Amino acid sequence: MDENAIRQWLIDCFGPIQGEMAWNQLSNMPEAVRDQLMSQDPSTLPKPEEVKSMMQAFTAGGLNTMGDMQQAVEQGPINIKLAKSLALQQANGAGSDSSVNAETGEIARRAISEANLWLDTACEFNPAQGETQLLTRAGWVEDTIDAWAQFASPVAESMNDALASILSQRFGDGEIQTEISGVFAGPIEIPIPDEMKNPAKLMRFVGNTSFAMQLGRAAGDLSHEVRGSFDQGIALLKNPAGGLIVQNVTEYAKSLDIDVNEVMGYLALQELAHARLFASVPWLMPRFEALLGKYARGITIDMDAMEEQIREAESIDPDSMASAVNITKVAFPDTPEQKQAMKALENLLALVEGWVDAVVWRAGMAHIPHIEQLREMLRRERAIGGPAERTFESLMGMQLRPKRMREAAALWESIGAQEGPEARDAKWSHPDLLPQLPDEQSEDSSNEENGAASATTGTEQTTAQQDIPDSIDWDAELSKLLDEEEHKGDDADGTNDADGTDDAGDTNASGDPQSPEEA
């Protein structure tokens, strides 16, 4: 690359005045960096609009000076302010409501009031303290981003350590003795603080920022799809009474062509049942946090894979930078300890979702005409992995799904029918009292033997297993089928599934969602 090309590129990125300033500062950059830059093909440089996008993201995240960068690294492995800024940009994008309008707000408040009355007859847990919130997409981001950052912090710490190690290997343990032009802070002469002259520390900032971009983009996407604060199966809001994202609920009702009052009522039941459970079982959320932490701390980064991802990053815009540190691309396979934590997480999540499913059906069956269709749609979303599951996978490298939700729902329904709601809900008083799902290995063996009954432990398990036809895990089978059809669809340029139906929207002749047996 000749000098005129790099000079023009800087002017295109920063404008004529600041571009010239940046060009004059090139001589102060480390010789190795300057030589590498000058030896590049001009076509490999990021496009000027990508540089501007990066600058806007940093400015929104409060990264205007090198001191801001240093402070961001000291505050933790993720720049939460930057992540929130990016997420809010997406949440407030075109088509998003800035407030809850009076009409839909009244529908939501009525649904919440009725849901609490109906749940009083279906479970023993009292309502959670406080008032269930009516949230906008931006409000959901504001109130949940800290919780997402807390779950992702152990992974981000591992990623930052790996990035720092890679840069140290490249540049050694020396210091960067220069004043930089400001791909990060703008083309202004800003001395690098002593604490940031170590290449490893500077790379920690890159990791801190890149992971924040990944979290911000994920949360921003999620804000358009979640309908309640417990859609992830865990408590994310500080408000124990939870909240409904009203705009997303109304859009969901339109997509299903079901009256919004019904859909709002059903989702309010889901939200408030979760809220009652988590508020009444003090050990539940700490247990989830401990298992998530155990899994995250066990992640080991493949240094070669990470270095390759960094080399192959096509640009420095937020999306490309976030992709370069995507945990699903650079982590080694799960360790036995991680697999154990994952199994415990999935079983606990299945028991939570199964209990909610059973209680909601019992509470709403006399009030919501389309409850069976809504119940089946929600089960399928859980089975195939919705936006929340995708977020856990991109941030933590884990496919967290309640794979055995149907079995768990049947188990709780059986216990409730035999022992009553009081005895059923009393099993949440201690982790050791929870009913256990049938052993997966025994279930696999029974399936190989033409659906013979799987080996279980305890009266509740045996009874519940008898209620499940052929011991088939319909959710797992559906997920596997959809994965296969997705690959076929990619090869066929987006054609329908082999059976001529859409993935998660299979319907019968009347337009209602089919059960797995019908599908």
Q: Is 390 helix (H, G, I), strand (E, B) or coil?
A: helix
- Please name every residue paired with 335 in a beta bridge, in sequence order, or none if there are none: none
| Residue 118 C-alpha from the chain's centroid | 31
Of the pLDDT bands very low, low, confident and very high (cuts 50, 70, 90), residue 454 is: very low
Across the chain, mean pLDDT equals 75
CB atoms within 10 A of CB 438: 23
Q: What pLDDT, on the 0 to 100 scale, is given for residue 32?
A: 66
318: Cβ–Cβ under 8 A, 6 or more apart, which residues? 53, 54, 57, 86, 213, 216, 217
Helix 137-171 vs helix 387-396: crossing angle, to nearest 10: 20
The CA distances from residue 364 to 138, 259, 360, 377, 463, in Å, are: 30, 15, 6, 16, 25
Distance set, CA 318 to CA 206, 215, 441 (Å): 11, 11, 43
Both ends of the chain: CA-CA distance in Å?
59
Full-model pTM: 0.73
Neighbours of 444 (CB within 10 A): 12
State pLDDT tens for residues 461-491.
434 444 434 444 545 555 555 555 555 555 5
In the block, residue with structure tokens 């990791």:
207
Give the pLDDT confidence score for residue 388 in this predicted structure: 65
Alpha-carbon span 494 to 474, nearest angstrom: 25
Question: CA 137 to CA 247: how far, in whole Å?
Answer: 8
pLDDT digits (tens, 9 = 90+) for 194-250: 554 455 566 666 677 778 888 888 899 899 999 999 998 899 999 999 999 999 999
Alpha-carbon span 501 to 508, nearest angstrom: 10
pLDDT of residue 459: 40
Residue type, 173: D
Residue 31 to residue 28: CA distance in whole angstroms: 8
Helix (H) or strand (E) holding 463: helix 459-466
Other C-beta atoms lying within 10 Å of the C-beta of residue 372: 14
Greater confidence (66 vs 30) lies with 30
Highest mean pLDDT among 22-36, 334-348, 354-368: 354-368
With H, G, I as helix, E, B as strand and everything else as coil, classify residue 38: helix
| Res 77: pLDDT | 75
The tens digit of pLDDT for each residue in 77-125 reads 788 888 888 889 889 988 999 999 999 999 999 999 999 999 999 999 9
Spatial distance between the Cα atoms of 70 and 85, rounded to a whole number of angstroms:
19
Q: What's the pLDDT band for 51 if we cut at 50, 70, 90? A: low
Q: What is the pLDDT of residue 70?
A: 57
The pLDDT assigned to 304 comes to 81
The predicted pLDDT at position 144 comes to: 94
Between 405-419 and 336-364, two packed helices, what is the crossing angle to 10 degrees? 50
Looking at the chain, how many residues does it have?
519
Average pLDDT over residues 311-339: 70
Q: Of 293, 285, 287, 291, which is closest to residue 234 (Cα–Cα)?
A: 285
Pick the more confident residue, 159 or 365. Answer: 365
With a pLDDT cut of 90, the percent of the chain lying above it is: 35
CA distance linking residue 389 with residue 382, whole number of Å: 8
What is the per-residue pLDDT across 408-437, written as a single tens digit (0 to 9) for each?
Answer: 999 999 999 999 999 999 999 999 999 998
Q: Please write the tens of the pLDDT for every residue from 254-295.
A: 999 999 999 999 999 999 999 999 999 999 999 999 998 888
Residue 282 has, within 13 A of its CA and on its CB side, a CA count of 0
- 3-state class (DSSP) for residue 33: helix
Is residue 379 very low, low, confident or very high in pLDDT (cuts 50, 70, 90)?
confident
pLDDT at 293: 87
Q: Please tell me whether residue 242 adopts helix, strand or coil conformation.
A: coil
> Distance between CA atoms of 267 and 445, rounded to whole angstroms?
37
| Residue 33: per-residue pLDDT | 63
DSSP characters over 407-433: HHHHHHHHHHHHH-HHHHHHGGGSGGG
| Predicted pLDDT at 438 | 78
Dihedral sign, Cα of residue 79, residue 82, residue 88, residue 91: negative
